[in-house]
Chains A and B, each alone.
Chain A
């Protein structure tokens, strides 16, 4: 793995910092920084990713599943374009080595087996070859823990795990970071604290509450 190259590209000297903090706006200066141009692209810049965990058949399933969990939308690309399958393949190999056991690997492999087995039983196809509504039928059984059948518990656990890896891999990718968006990890010439406009929204919500995805109640007296 390219540890050495990356630590070198990541290093920014004190002189560079003074340049960054100079007259140009910080964001523009950072993107114009020669080192930053060398930041490796996910998977792309160092030739094709070499798989460590999944075989060819699993790999096709993993890619499809990742994109079903995090598809492209109007704001950003989907999980496979963000190299999430590569992340998961590497992550399972990494955890297997660090943890000294294969529990994660077994859970993911077993779940992938079940997807194909069940698709074959119900539709006489592999999961990848199944139609979109057939894939949906299977995922709907295991993607909502509270309403899943008891007998599906192992596959619910598998999907929780796989979804967690996909979501975590996506939002820590370059695509995902821009999607959120996370706006930091750059030089800021002057720190001003919370944007007053954002604080005004928070204060308003303290008074009146907010009905979003999760409800925030008003604070009361």
Chain B
């Protein structure tokens, strides 16, 4: 390895990671006047130049089908990353099943994510107080509510005012009208008394801060050339760069937080991937936002005489209580939709309606076999045909056949599919955590993570409930269930990490003995070390994490800005 290069300049803040958490910190702090150096392990990405909008599957090899290193297909915005990153392995402990999605690019996973933007509710901050499982957050919904407002107003979220239990409404743009199959699903849910309401996605339906409204091509996962959906480079970083206060270094793989003799962080040491050399960047404050588990990895690898178990890890809790989301899916086929007059059912990139958790009363009355809840995400209709479109229909629905008759039948069956996916809360447990694998390093010479993961009965029974509920909804529409899973498959519960909602690993709390961070996501052990990704999460409500990362990261950044002013943090 080449000689270590140190940058002479000392920045106010060094931020590791450029996704939702790093992005919001850079946005808030650069506008507050802080001089920032941001490290991103991947390369530059600009949605206005790099998105693959309007391309057709038949224009690219293999109809754009997924590959080992491009698992979600040729058009997915993730340039480098996926379940595997070349040269950057991770391991799983015997008996554990865990998948780790990483996006090595500017903006990280915000470039391709589902844009689902749900506020955690008042119950979600105090789960232990409600059912005795897991932990309470050191903050309440009211503490975070103003930051949810700010986050929604900056990134742009559509939705509707509903006033439902533990499902807070927000500062919403108007929601897009539902598609045909979605109205049908709502009719079935009305019969079954399951609330079905406009979804809440970070996609503009009205222009905002110079960004145009959505043009409804449904391909948000490719990233948007118009910058009409939320992504960190286009929404957080662009205005931050305009201040002149933000410098972004790409290809910078953070390895270790550096510590001074006083125990404070002094900066970050990273590998410059192009030159394979070690570089040190100095900062008065260090913000980690490398994604929950990568943040824990950096901390555990930051060993010094003051912190032999890794920085800010006097409790040994760094890496503990990793949570993902409970996922289980059912697919159906709805004959009622066959041979309808054709229409464009694209809409935004994602569902226009969804079902928030609705059985709070039953749960409170001890009538449910599991703790916590889930929401339902839906899909279907006349979507963009990719490889394999309608391929299974002849055997699935038509008893076989070939020729003109088959062709004519097939086109009439197009658009009849619907999909239901549950997204539910996982309770933190002692068997789900990440640690440094003592035997394996990546190509940058950085020890890698080893994952331990286990679902509890609460999650498995929740998946069972999902399967049964989704089948009920499909049957209520006169449909056929085409994909379901039963007890032999643990009710189709997703593998750990598979829903890509990892949170936890450096939990917040009120007591330095039982938590890594205080309520401002400031390390108890290292006063100028903060975390703004999902690692501080204390629980993982069924509300997808990105909006809460943004709100919590904003609150933390406000605190950092205030502390700098009050000189409580040594600057």
Chain A positions near chain B (C-beta within 8 angstroms): 1-3, 6-7, 9-14, 16-18, 20-21, 26, 30, 35-36, 39-40, 42, 68-71, 73, 75, 87, 90-91, 94, 98, 139, 143-146, 159-160, 163-165, 167-169, 171-174, 176-177, 179-189, 191-195, 197-199, 201-202, 205-206, 210, 212-217, 219
Q: How far is the CA of A39 from the CA of B54 in the complex (A)?
A: 10
> Is B94 an interface residue, CB under 8 A from the partner?
no
Instruction: Answer whether A193 and B177 are a contact pair too, CB < 8 Å, given A12-B225, A198-B343.
Output: yes
User: In the bound complex, do residue A160 and residue B382 qualify as a contact, i.e. CB atoms below 8 Å apart?
Assistant: no
B215 interfacial contact with A, CB 8 Å: yes
Closest residue of A by beta carbon distance from B205: A191
Provide the bound-state CA to CA distance between A30 and B54, in Å. 9
With contact pairs A201-B340, A205-B336, A206-B336 given, residues A164 and B217 touching in the complex (Cβ less than 8 Å): no
Point out the residues of chain A lying under 8 angstroms from B477, CB to CB.
219
Does B357 touch A at the CB level, under 8 Å? no
Does chain A have a CB within 8 A of B87?
no
- Which of B212, B215, B333, B397 has the most A CB atoms < 10 Å from its CB? B215
Closest 7 CB pairs of A and B: A193-B177, A168-B391, A10-B55, A184-B346, A168-B388, A187-B215, A194-B180
A17-B212, A20-B215, A214-B338 are known contacts. Are A186 and B54 too (CB-CB below 8 A)? yes
Residue of chain A at shortest CB distance from B413: A213
Residue from B67, B212, B340 in contact with A202 in the complex, judged by beta carbons closer than 8 Å: B340
A30-B54, A164-B391 known; A212 vs B406 contact (CB < 8 Å): no
Return chain B residues, CB-CB under 8 Å to A180: 342, 382, 385, 411, 414
The answer to whether B345 and A18 touch across the interface, beta carbons within 8 angstroms, is no
Residues of chain B from 226 to 253 with CB closer than 8 A to chain A in the complex: 226-227
Chain B residues proximal to chain A, CB less than 8 Å: 48-63, 65, 67-68, 74, 176-180, 182-184, 187, 191, 205, 212, 214-219, 225-227, 333-348, 352, 382-395, 397-404, 406-414, 476-478
Task: Give bound CA distance, A183 to B389, whole Å.
Answer: 15
Interface pair A144/B179, CB less than 8 Å apart: no
Alpha-carbon distance A12/B226, docked complex (angstroms): 8
B72 to chain A, nearest CB (A): 14
Known: A194-B178, A198-B340. A12 touches B53 (CB 8 A): yes
Q: Are A39 and B56 in contact (CB under 8 A)?
A: yes
Q: Do A193 and B393 have beta carbons less than 8 Å apart?
A: no
Contact partners of B48 in chain A: CB under 8 A: 13-14
B391, A165: Cβ atoms under 8 Å?
yes
For the complex, would chain B's binding face be called helix, strand, loop or mixed by DSSP majority? Answer: loop
Q: Are A189 and B404 in contact (CB under 8 A)?
A: no
Q: Is the CB of B217 within 8 A of A185?
A: yes
Partner of B183, one of A182, A194, A213: A194
**Complex alpha-carbon distance, A31 and B65, angstroms:** 25
How many Å lie between the Cα of A213 and that of B408 in the bound state?
10
Chain A hits for B386, CB < 8 A:
172
Q: How far is the CA of A68 from the CA of B404 in the complex (A)?
A: 8
Given contacts A183-B342, A199-B183, contact A172 B385 (CB under 8 A): yes
Which chain B residue has the least Cβ–Cβ distance from A79? B407
- Does B391 lie within 8 Å of A6, measured CB to CB? no
**Can you pick out 9 interface pairs between chain A and chain B where the beta carbons lie within 8 Å of each other?**
A14-B227, A18-B212, A94-B62, A144-B399, A167-B393, A179-B411, A187-B215, A202-B180, A219-B477
Residues of A within 8 A of B337 (CB): 202
Determine if B412 and A212 form an interchain contact, defined as CB atoms under 8 angstroms apart.
yes
If the complex has contacts A167-B391, A171-B389, A216-B478, are A14 and B335 also in contact, measured as CB distance less than 8 A? no
- Report the separation of the CA atoms of residues A20 and B413 in the bound assembly, to the nearest whole angstrom: 32
Give chain B nearest CB distance to A105 CB in angstroms: 15
Name the CB-closest residue of B to A177: B385
Q: Chain B residues near A16 (CB, 8 Å)? A: 225
